[in-house]
């Protein structure tokens, strides 16, 4: 019998959120281990070469959120998230690269005194405008139901919107706002945002989903 995969996570991290979304969609039972980023357990640091969440210990160890999403969905993909054109992977690349950098420079502006937060927000807005334009044609980025790109990107758009929701809602992004609000109200998000106490060695395993 194969051991239960171990999923190291941090509730609010968008990378960990998207990994949990895919594991939940695939219906793969894992042992979830919530950590505190300021007090990373030795067992977690042994599992994750990067020292960042999420990390998965299964038949192989994965510490990149996109790899964890694909690992889960290749086993079971009932909602056909992997049914997506190559353009979806390119969008995720942009999200994880330029958009995430601009998001951090906006959200944590005090850490980047040499950068103009308004210019950084404008950089992020370029990507969001592109998403809004795409969403004018479909309920989700590529079709009437979510694909991998939607669920990989939405946690980051959520994080960006939360930096100043009033400003976000004032932008000419009706399709993007509708897409985000649908996600925020979804059962899938509510389930993955359940709270778990920080993992302790020797504790009774906590399972997810």
> 6-78+193-208 and 86-189: same fold?
no
Domain residue ranges in the chain: 6-78+193-208, 86-189
Q: What is the pLDDT of residue 49?
A: 87
Three-state SS for 32? strand
DSSP 82-112: T---HHHHHHHHHIIIIIHHHHHHHHTGGG-
Which tokens hold the place of 193? 């945002």
User: Which value, to the nearest 10 degrees, does the dihedral of the CA atoms of residues 141, 146, 148, 153 take?
Assistant: 60
pLDDT tens for each residue of the chain, 209 residues long: 779 999 999 999 999 999 999 999 999 999 999 999 999 999 999 999 899 999 999 999 999 999 999 999 999 999 999 999 999 999 999 999 999 999 999 999 999 999 999 999 999 999 999 999 999 999 999 999 999 999 999 999 999 999 999 999 999 999 999 999 999 999 999 999 999 999 999 999 999 99
According to DSSP, residue 188 is labeled H
Q: Are strands 30-34 and 55-57 parallel, antiparallel or unpaired?
A: unpaired
Helices within the chain (DSSP H only) = 14-26, 42-47, 65-75, 86-94, 100-107, 117-135, 148-163, 165-169, 174-184, 187-192
**Secondary-structure class of domain 86-189 per CATH:** mainly alpha
List the beta bridge partners of residue 8. Answer: 33, 55
d(CA 10, CA 27): 19
Contact of 143 with 134, CB cutoff 8 Å: no
Contacts of 123 (CB under 8 A, 6+ apart): 98, 102, 105
Omega of the bond leading into 209 within 30 degrees of 0 (cis): yes
Q: Taking the model in full, what pTM does it have?
A: 0.97
As a whole number of angstroms, the distance between CA 120 and CA 102 comes to 5
Q: What is the pLDDT of residue 46?
A: 93
What pLDDT shows up at residue 2? Answer: 78
Instruction: Return the CATH number of the domain spanning residue range 6-78+193-208.
Output: 3.40.30.10
């Amino acid at each position: 019998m194969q051991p239960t995969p171990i999923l190291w996570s941090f509730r609010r991290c968008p990378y960990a959120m998207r990994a949990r979304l895919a594991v939940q969609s695939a219906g793969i039972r894992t042992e979830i281990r919530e950590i505190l980023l300021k007090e990373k357990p030795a067992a977690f640091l042994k599992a994750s070469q990067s020292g960042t969440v999420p990390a998965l210990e299964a038949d192989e160890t994965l510490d990149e959120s996109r790899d964890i999403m694909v690992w889960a969905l290749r086993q079971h993909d009932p909602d056909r998230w992997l049914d997506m054109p190559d353009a979806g992977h390119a969008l995720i690349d942009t999200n994880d690269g330029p958009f995430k950098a601009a998001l951090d420079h906006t959200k944590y502006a005090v850490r980047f005194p040499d950068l103009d937060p308004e210019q950084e927000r404008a950089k992020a807005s370029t990507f969001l405008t592109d998403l809004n334009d795409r969403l004018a044609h479909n309920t989700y980025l590529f079709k009437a139901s979510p694909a991998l790109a939607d669920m990989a990107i939405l946690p980051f758009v959520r994080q960006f919107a939360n930096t100043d929701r009033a400003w976000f809602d004032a932008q000419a992004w009706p399709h993007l706002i509708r897409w985000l609000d649908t996600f925020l109200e979804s059962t899938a998000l509510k389930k993955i945002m359940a709270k778990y106490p920080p993992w302790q060695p020797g504790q009774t395993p906590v399972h997810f989903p």
